[in-house]
Amino acid sequence: MKVGRGSRVGGERGGGGVVEEERSGGVEAAPPVKRRRVAVAPSAGAGGSRRVQAEASPLQRLFRACRAVFRGPGTVPAPGEMIIFFLPRNAIIPLHDHPGMTVFSKLLIGSLHIRSYDWVDPEPALSCSSSSVRLAKRVVNGVFTAPCDTSVLYPTTGGNMHRFRAIAPCAILDILGPPYSTEDGRDCTYYRAIPYSRHPVKNGAADQLTGVDEEGHRLSWLTETIPRMLRMRQIRYGGPPISDDE
């Protein structure tokens, strides 16, 4: 398990191609995670008295619950990785993707603004020769406060590209499967949103996009970028050992 401190980037002032958007839905709920307690075992002492084993640590119970919930088809594919992000107020994790990955996210504490996108498929033809942008549709744009539903994103749906901004100090649990891996072609790419009007599409392609907007999505162009002033620290876990035993 990894524990990370949240990123902090430059100010939230307007400009930079950020599109003003309205709030929309699109967060899917995962099954609730139930807390577990260690079973009571009989004591070896005289009189048949019973004793209670030491209760597992909160993270050990969380690990077991996640393993039970995310087991089997339709959940996070193996291998999986569990990460907890801590974000101070106004910290930002810039818009980024999760190539070929399934991610379950749970806001544990605090309040968080989430904006997410999926690629428009098939990609429309541009009326200009620009190849540095790609069209995306907004999936989520809203503020979430713990406790709230678990969200899930998939390789091509559910808001695979998202951006976090901490409204209040918060902690986010992420279950990623498979995790990021540069060697396996799952490197993290950051993006910047550009207003749809900046890059016109050909007439026939524009007609095909009418239905996308009518579904309540806002279209934006995304271009790859390298975030300025992005800082993220990984903190060594120093708590009780987490056992992988059944």
pLDDT in tens, the chain (246 residues): 554 554 444 333 333 222 233 333 333 333 333 333 333 344 444 444 454 556 788 778 877 777 776 666 656 666 778 889 999 999 999 999 999 999 999 999 999 999 999 998 876 665 455 668 899 999 999 999 999 988 899 999 999 999 999 999 999 999 898 889 888 889 999 999 998 877 766 655 555 555 555 555 688 999 999 998 888 888 877 878 877 765
- 190 residue type, one letter: Y
pTM of the predicted structure, to 2 decimals: 0.69
Q: For each of the domains in the chain, give its residue range(s) and CATH number, in order of start.
A: 2-34+56-235 (2.60.120.10)
